[in-house]
Amino acid sequence: MQPVKFYFSFLDQSSRALYILLEASKIPFEAIPISILKGEHLTGEFRDKVSQFKCLPVINDDNLSLVGSITIFRHLNREKIVPEHWYPRRNYGRSRIDEFLEWQQRNTAMACGNYFQQKWLSPILNKASPDAKNASVLTECLNQSLKNFENHFLNKNKFVIGENISYADLMAICEIDQPKFIGFDPFNHHPKLGKWYDRVREELGPYYKKVAIEFDNKLRTAEKKIPEVMYLQQ
Amino acid sequence: MQPVKFYFSFLDQSSRALYILLEASKIPFEAIPISILKGEHLTGEFRDKVSQFKCLPVINDDNLSLVGSITIFRHLNREKIVPEHWYPRRNYGRSRIDEFLEWQQRNTAMACGNYFQQKWLSPILNKASPDAKNASVLTECLNQSLKNFENHFLNKNKFVIGENISYADLMAICEIDQPKFIGFDPFNHHPKLGKWYDRVREELGPYYKKVAIEFDNKLRTAEKKIPEVMYLQQ
Q: CATH number of the domain that B173 lies in? A: 1.20.1050.10
User: Does residue A102 share a domain with residue A166?
Assistant: yes
Indicate if B68 and B100 belong to the same structural domain. Answer: no
For residue A13, the model assigns a pLDDT of: 98
For A42, the domain range is 4-82
Residue B96 identity = R
Give residue-wise pLDDT tens across range A121-148. Answer: 999 998 888 777 788 899 999 999 999 9
Distance CA B186, CA B174 (A): 13
Q: Does B232 have pLDDT greater than 60? A: no
Q: Which long-range contacts (CB under 8 A, 24 or more apart) does A223-226 make?
A: A223/A124, A226/A123, A226/A124, A226/A127
Q: In a mutagenesis test of the B interface, which of A99, A101, A103, A149 is the best target, namely the one with the most B β-carbons within 10 Å? A: A99
Q: Is the pLDDT of residue B233 over 60?
A: no
**Do B97 and B205 belong together in one domain?**
yes
Q: Are residues B202 and B118 in the same domain?
A: yes
A66 → chain B, closest CA residue: B99
Report the chain B residue with the minimal C-alpha distance to residue A148.
B53
What ipTM did this prediction achieve?
0.94
* Run of H or E including A200: helix A191-225
- Contact criterion met (CB < 8 Å) for B75 and A95: yes
| Bridging pattern class, strands A4-8 and B58-61 | unpaired
Which of B96, B97, B121, B86 has the alpha carbon at shortest distance from B200? Answer: B86
Rounded CA-CA distance A159/A132 in Å is: 36
For chain A, the domain total comes to 2
- What is chain B's mean pLDDT, rounded? 93
Cα separation, A67 vs A65, whole angstroms: 7
Residues of A with CB under 8 A from a CB of B: 52-53, 64, 66-68, 70-71, 74-75, 78, 92, 94-96, 98-99, 101-103, 105, 152
- Residue B68 and residue B103 share a domain: no
The three-state DSSP-derived secondary structure of A210-234 is HHHHHHHHHHHHHHHHCHHHHHHHC
Nearest Cβ partner of B53 from A95, A96, A103?
Answer: A103
Is the pLDDT at A233 greater than 70? The verdict is no
Residue-wise pLDDT for B176-216, tens only, equals: 999 999 999 999 989 999 999 999 999 999 999 999 999 99
pLDDT band at A230 (very low <50, low <70, confident <90, very high): low
**Whether residues B215 and B156 fall in one domain:** yes
Closest by Cβ to B95, choosing from A66, A92, A94: A66
Last residue of a domain, one of A57, A82, A107: A82
Please check whether residues A46 and A96 belong to one and the same domain.
no
Kindly state whether residues A112 and A197 are assigned to the same domain.
Answer: yes
**Which among A82, A112, A131 is the end of a domain?**
A82
Whether residue B175 is found in the same domain as residue B116: yes
**Taking the mean position of all CA atoms in its chain, how far away is CA B96?**
19
Boundary residue ending a domain (A33, A65, A82): A82
**DSSP assignment string, A37-81:** TTTGGGSHHHHHHT-TT--S-EEEETTEEEESHHHHHHHHHHHS-
**Domain match, B102 and B171 both:** yes
Report the DSSP beta bridge partners of residue A4.
Answer: A29
> Crossing angle, helix A167-180 and helix A69-79, to 10 degrees?
150
Residues A214 and A122 in one domain: yes
Instruction: Say whether A98 and B74 touch across the interface (CB within 8 A).
Output: yes
Q: What are the tens digits of pLDDT across the range B122-156?
A: 999 988 887 777 888 999 999 999 999 999 999 98
- CA A13 from chain centre, in angstroms, equals 2
Q: B51 contacts in A (CB within 8 Å)?
A: none
B103 and B213 in a single domain? The answer is yes
Other residues' Cβ atoms within 10 Å of the Cβ of residue B83: 12
Q: pLDDT tens digit string along A101-121? A: 999 999 999 999 999 999 999
Largest CA distance in chain A: 53
Q: Please report the pLDDT score of residue B193 as a whole number.
A: 97
